[in-house]
Amino acid sequence: MAGPTASGDVAAQAPAPRYAWYVLGILFVVYVLNFVDRQVISILAEDIKRDLNLKDEDLGFLYGTAFGVFYALFGIPLGRLADSWHRVRLMTVGLALWSTMTALSGFSRTGGQLAAARIGVGIGEATASPAAYSLISDYFPKRLRATALSIYSAGLYVGGGVSLFIGGLIVQGWNRAYPDGGSFGLVGWQAAFLAVGIPGLIVALWVATIREPIRGLVEGLPEPDKHPAPFRAFFQELLTIIPPLTLIGAARGGTRALLINLTGLAAVVAVVAFLIGIGEPKPQWLAIGIGVYAVFSWACALKRRDPATFALIVGTPAFLCTVVAYGLNSFLSYAASFWAAPYVLRTLGETPARAGLLLGSSGALAGFLGLTIGGIVADRLRRTDPAGRLIVVIFGATVPIPFLIGAFTASSVWVFYPCLFLSGLTASGALGSAAATTQDLVLPRMRGTATATFFIGTTLMGLAMGPYLAGRISTLSGSLSVGMLSLLAIMPVTLTCAIAAYRLVPAAEASREARARAAGEPI
């Protein structure tokens, strides 16, 4: 026991090698592409709404739910695959898949076809962050982890900004040059999907050159044994998460496990049936119901098959509070990032090209600065306070609120843009802090699964609900401003969870190894 601890102390103080920063640069580019492909639909939304005869709630479903639910669900088995297989190869395949599906979005002729393509993008992108978070955590010592994860996560805002600029430029230029449609009858928004999807296939070749690091070496921990059959485990994981295969997976756990699974399924079906019965849209709540039931099924199976991972993730209140706190933070952030372009185009009369340039550049700058500064501050706070990173999460849950109100009540673009910039700047720092906190609460072999669980909060609570609910309330009220501002009602819950995480994290991290051993982990 003394050996690993001593070597861990040395590793913790060693500087990160140059190659680690090189890898971080590649992963940053991957995450930029991730959000270019994910976010470009925002600047194209008004044209898609017109051409495919959609409502605001449909746009929220396409951007958030269709993508986010399947991103969350496949993130779990793919996170487990990242923990047991070659992470670089996993990311390479995923990047090629989501880039292809983004390009195919450009050939959509109906809302259903576009939804199917968005599901494919979500499945492909589910490979990225579990693999990337695990790679970064094995390339950088704990004292630099929030900084490195924040730099990687800044690709979110840079990619979102680039997508708005490129998308706005292409859609306006293409429609001006080809008012009746260009090659293959494609209109501007379709051409934009093709233009942002194809470059990812080239970057996938670059990603394939990254060297796979030794798991746990940076912390002085012994390398875990290689998994004897990672893909068999992956397909077994699918049985726990993809309905109706979940029933087969539950039956393998015995009669009691099957009864628990069926009880959870019945509860979800009852709630979804009630919502549809009172007039809520079927696609949205069927997708959410599938997501909630699938996560419940997976958590029950994880408890049976890997008690130690369950104990450090689902069984740790500090972990869950951190996930919920950031998930609800992203509830607002995703809604604002999607509806900013439609608001400024529809309400303030901007052109797509100028809106894309100003929203894209300010969003990229705000996110990059906020995440980078937030990560550095979080790491410094942690030096004197084991829960110091959560202070940044609390900051990100409260300070952006007045700026968000200012943006979505603005009657002038010169009020809207500065308020949106300040909102993004103050909210974005929370991501790296929350992510690093969850990574510190688990063992190295569990990091891919921890990342996937973290992104369940981001997607099911944030991405799948925030943009949709803003759009749904906009449809019912006739005001996009009302739709957005109604989401602020969730802020007290966000703050409560963030404060609870701050109080719980120190004891949870200090007892990490002991609780894992008690659950059967051989350490």
Task: Kindly write down the DSSP assignment for every residue of 197-263, as one continuous string.
Answer: HTHHHHHHHHHTTPPPPPTTGGGTPPPPPPPS-HHHHHHHHHHHHSTTHHHHHHHHT-HHHHHHHHH
Lowest mean pLDDT among 350-354, 397-401, 405-409, 476-480: 350-354
In angstroms, the CA 161 to CA 174 distance is 20
Decide: residue 211, CB within 10 A, 0-12 exposed, 13-18 middle, 19+ buried: exposed
Burial code (b: 16+ CB inside 10 Å, e: under 16) for 75-109 equals bbbbbbbbbbbebbbbbbbbbbbbbbbbbbbbebe
| Cα angle 221, 305, 4; round to 5 | 10
Of residues 137 and 406, more confidently modeled: 406
- CA triple 429-430-432, angle to 5 deg: 80
Q: Are 323 and 454 in contact (CB under 8 A)?
A: yes
Of the pLDDT bands very low, low, confident and very high (cuts 50, 70, 90), residue 5 is very low
Q: CA 370, 470, 193: angle at the middle one, nearest 5? A: 70
Residue with tokens 């072999």: 445
Confidence band, pLDDT 50/70/90 cuts, at residue 3: very low
Ranges 3-17, 210-224, 413-427: which has the least confidence: 3-17
Over the stretch 403-417, which tens digit does the pLDDT of each residue have? Answer: 999 999 999 999 999
> How high does pLDDT run on average in the chain?
89
Lowest-confidence pick of 173-182, 221-230, 272-281, 494-503: 221-230
Instruction: Read off the pLDDT band of 18 (50, 70, 90).
Output: confident
Confidence class for position 1, pLDDT limits 50, 70, 90? very low
| pLDDT > 80? residue 146 | no
Q: Is residue 204 predicted with pLDDT exceeding 50? A: yes
Q: What is the mean pLDDT of residues 183-203?
A: 90
- pLDDT category of residue 220 using cuts at 50, 70 and 90: low
**Residue for token pair 């869950």:** 320
pLDDT recorded at residue 445: 84
- pLDDT tens-digit series, residues 66-91: 998 988 888 878 888 888 888 999 99
The pLDDT assigned to 227 comes to 78
Tokens coding 381? 């706070």
Confidence of residue 2 (pLDDT cuts 50, 70, 90): very low
Q: 15 falls in which pLDDT band (50, 70, 90)?
A: low
What's the CA gap between 271 and 274, in Å, rounded? 5
Closest CA to 389 of 422, 334, 429: 429
Confidence of residue 13 (pLDDT cuts 50, 70, 90): low
Under 8 Å between Cβ of 450 and 145: no
Structure tokens at 192: 């934009």
DSSP per-residue string spanning 392-430: HHHHHHHTTHHHHHHHTT-SSHHHHHHHHHHHHHHHHTH
